Structure 1
Amino acid sequence: MGSGDTVSFVLAIFLLVIYAVVWTLSLIGLRVARNRYSGKSLPSRLSTLPKTSAPGVTIIRPLCGLDNNLFNALEAAMNLEYPKYEVIFALQDERDEALLVVKLIMEKYPHVDSRIIINDAKVGVNPKINNLMMPFAEAKYDLLWVIDATIAFTPGTLARAVATFLGASYSDSSFDSELESTPLLADNTRSPPKAGDVGLVHHVPYAVTYKKSLGSLVEQAFLNTTHAKMYLAINALGIDSCIMGKSNLYSKSNIDSLTTPSPSLRKLPDPPTGLAAFSPFMAEDNMIGLSLWHELRLKHAMTGDVAVDCLGTLSLKDYIARRSRWIRVRKRMTPIPATMLEPFTESIFGGLCGTWATSRLFGASVPALWLVHMVAWLSVDLSVRRYLGTNVKGMGPPQGTAMFVGAWLIREVLAMPVYLYALCGDQVMWRGRRYRIVQSGEAICVDDHRPDALSH
């Protein structure tokens, strides 16, 4: 065997191992989707407790502008099967168009404990953190459920999330004794958590689109297939924190105890702690999850509920900008090897590498193998999509399989070009402003002429 043959042989083994790992993750994600989401969600016994016995929860909805399907998404928080919660609608501008929608909802549900907080404070570049500062400070309860404006959910979601956070087996007879032994029964007190406790409950996004633009259909295909199965698989393995901030339940006292992961803030004489400690990061959800995981050694958990994400109208250019933005953020927050291996998780590039390696080692037709690979990959993705949508039928408009497959194909074809484009820069547009992502993962506003641009 010549040197060239040896190199190709070793390369083939390497690629085949990666290919096998990727397929293993995909099948784990498929299994979790089938086992966790395809059956009917059982109600939690928390939903039937008297108000005096249930742990209180503060729901915070940070708002900015008229997001798609805003009324229906916000209304979901007013119809929960849970005895004790409040809803805070958080805005940063009294002229925000979302305020009228909020007032209409509050008028429709006067019996729900709800209020509006308008707060224009700025503690950093992240507008969501800025918006959450006062609601965090004024929340009635220690348990906080922070939900993005575009997210809707079924009425039983909160009770199941709280039961999971407390670690109680809400489906068996030991539930009452478990609940009584949990440290989170008083409204504003909490015993120090123990390593291995659940510190965050989150939900996998399931995208729906009411206005079927090309970009929104492609984004929907991404979220309901590739993103979902990898998200479920990584969380099932529990190797490290992997969360999105669409729907997160955690303890305020836990967040308050966190120190900042920001190198720039740690240089200050009095570095911020708590929520403000994450203000320099665009991906504050991921950083909070990492801090809970590593600093407090708290696990993350999921329930059999999804966060129904109501997508707005997106052009294909909008989709590309959104995907490249988060790739640029992610490449600064994860080890370089993980970033470089990301293309192997994509169907076309990863499939070509895997089928070439199989052909090189065992001898077979690459085109035939690749075709089988693509059919199998699509089959897995369609199954994941179907399982996730089992319990949320009627919460979004129906979509034919042919249309979905068309959007899926466009997404798969664009995956590598978008990835390569994202690698070529470190600046992103975010809510109309331009930011540079530095190695620590922090975002620095480069629109220096703007009054809210921060200097670092």
Structure 2
Amino acid sequence: MLSLILAVFFLVLYTLIWALCLIGWRTAKIRYTGRSPPSRLTTVPPSAAPGVTIIRPLCGLDNNLYNALESTMRLKYPKYEVIFALQDEDDEALPVVKMVMEKYPDVPASISINDARIGVNPKINNLLTPFTEARYDLLWVIDSTISVTPGTLARTVEAFTGISTNMSSFESDLESTPLLSDDMRKPPAAGDVGLVHHVPYAVVYQKTYGSLIEQAFLNTTHAKMYLAINTLAVDSCVMGKSNMYSRANIDSLTTPSPTLRKLPSPPTGLAAFSPFLAEDNMIALSLWHELHLKHAMTGDVALDFIGALSIRDYIGRRIRWIRVRKRMTPLLATLIEPFTESIICGIYGSWAIARLLGANKLAIFLVHMVLWLLVDLSVRDALSSNVRDIGPPSSTLQFVVAWAARELLALPIWLFGITSSDVVWRGKKYKIIQSGEAICMDNTDDT
């Protein structure tokens, strides 16, 4: 009787996990297959378009930096500026920034160098001054390794403002959008869009073992689950690679930090998120729960250029974010994570089906793994349909080998990740406490 009850339970769980996978796959096929339609916002005069400030926080010579920065100077949009944010006048990224600006003198761009230190998160520290210097309320924050296609900005503004691409309704939408005035806009209402984000799509030129496994992870398992969760929209699920939001909305947020809330005057706005390493997730959660603003995505991907990684580098990245994530999500979500992976899911699923129907467990498991791989390859192909000309030619066999390595490593990485709350990021060791805040421990080398 006990084995029968367990079999029913695992069959239900198996069905739910497959349903989640298929939702992510279907979303990828529908949203990303084929060319995204051009936005009508590319043809309006600057006076009629919502202004956008693009902020690119930089630190050192990240992979493909010149091309990534150049992509934001080639956007098809009538009204935007770019702020390159650094914290050191001797930063190696600065000469690259100057070369990009010299090549595109007609694009309004500036360099912001500040050494503000208000918390453990260096990205928040880097963004503080550009947030105040930004000319426009709409802010698009893009990580240094990310490249975007020319039409991404216009479609992202459409998603944020609700302006329609339908020609018959375009003019009326344009007149009614609250963001047409850059110095005056109505307070957001529950259900409005408060954040637009893009799914990362990994591109690898330096094909090391670690970079190929990271690419396989981001372009299949991560993308599939990321799209599924955002399609169901039961809660916030956002990465900070490419995020657009309103400065006024961010400024109105209260700190989620229990430590900062004890202060006589707790900080609000961007500074309120300085104790968290995963500031992107915390900002998105606050927009969702505090302001009741939903999130939106477009048919564009954030091209993430992965540098040369060793397998150890890859494992270190995954362990770090498991330890950060487990403090910011419900315990059940962390504990159930291994059951969403292909191998563990296939083991309990094939056992449950064999127990209830008398089928061959090994045959079911092999069919399960083949189908899982085919779904993942289909997700990868859908995401790449608009950017096939970017990056080197890819080998399917090489990708499948990297995918298999990633699946085999998933459980050991998770087991090691949950055993501690210490992480190493950018050369510093942190302890992630129960609230999700990070406490800097020392200056050990990054592993």
Q: TM-score, normalised by structure 1?
A: 0.96
For 2:357 and 2:198, locate their aligned partners in 1 and report how far apart those are by CA, in whole Å.
42
* Equivalent residue number for residue 346 of structure 2: 351
Task: Tell me how far 1:144 sits from its aligned partner.
Answer: 0.2
Tell me, yes or no, if the aligned pair for 1:195 and 1:297 is still in contact at 8 Å: yes
Following superposition of structure 1 onto structure 2, how do residues 225-374 of structure 1 map, counting pairs within 5 Å? 225-374=220-369
The runs of 5 or more residues in structure 2 that have no matched partner are none
**Superposed, which structure 2 residues align to 1:7-406 within 5 Å?**
7-406=2-401
After superposition, the C-alpha distances for 1:28-84 in whole angstroms (9 at most, x for unaligned) are: 111000000002110110111101111100000000110111000110000000000
Matched positions, count: 445
Partner of 1:454 in structure 2? none
- Return the alpha-carbon distance in structure 1 between the equivalents of residues 10 and 326 of structure 2: 22
Instruction: Give the 3-state SS of the residue equivalent to 1:144 in structure 2.
Output: strand
CA distance in 2, matches of 1:394, 1:104: 25
Moved more, 100-109 or 166-175: 166-175
- Contact persistence 1:93–1:118 (CA under 8 A): yes
Question: What is the Cα deviation at residue 449 of structure 1?
Answer: 10
Query: What is the CA-CA distance between 1:9 and the residue it aligns to?
Result: 1.4
Distance in 2, matches of 1:405 and 1:34, equals: 20
Give the % identical residues.
69
Q: SS where residue 291 of structure 1 aligns?
A: helix
One-letter amino acid matched to 2:24 = G
Q: What RMSD in Å do the two structures reach over aligned CA positions?
A: 1.1
The answer to whether the Cα contact below 8 Å between 2:27 and 2:227 also exists between their aligned partners in 1 is yes
Query: Matches of 2:221 and 2:413 in 1, distance apart?
Result: 15
Q: Is the 8 A contact 1:44 1:171 kept in 2?
A: no
Unaligned runs of 5+ in 1: 1-5, 451-456
8 A contact 2:428–2:443 mirrored in 1:
no
Q: Which residue of 2 aligns with 1:420?
A: 415
Deviations 1:98-153 (A, max 9, x none): 00100000010011000000011011000000000000011000000000000011
Q: Give the deviation of 1:18 after TM superposition.
A: 1.2
In the alignment, residue 329 of structure 1 is paired with which amino acid?
A: V
Paired with 2:387 and 2:164, the residues of 1 have a C-alpha distance of 24
Question: Is the CA contact 1:66–1:97 (under 8 Å) kept in the aligned structure 2?
Answer: yes
Q: Does the CA contact (< 8 Å) of 2:59 and 2:86 recur in 1?
A: yes
Distance 2:324 2:156 in 1: 29
Q: Could you tell which deviates more after superposition, 186-195 or 326-335?
A: 186-195
- Structure 1 residue 190 displacement after superposition: 2.0
Contact 1:142-1:189 within 8 A present in 2 as well: no
Moved over 4 A (4+): none
Matched AA of 2:171: D
Contact kept in structure 1, 2:55 and 2:84, CA below 8 Å: yes
Distance in 1, Cα, partners of 2:36 & 2:386: 7
Deviations 1:366-395 (A, max 9, x none): 111000000000000000000000001222
CA shift at 1:171, angstroms?
2.7
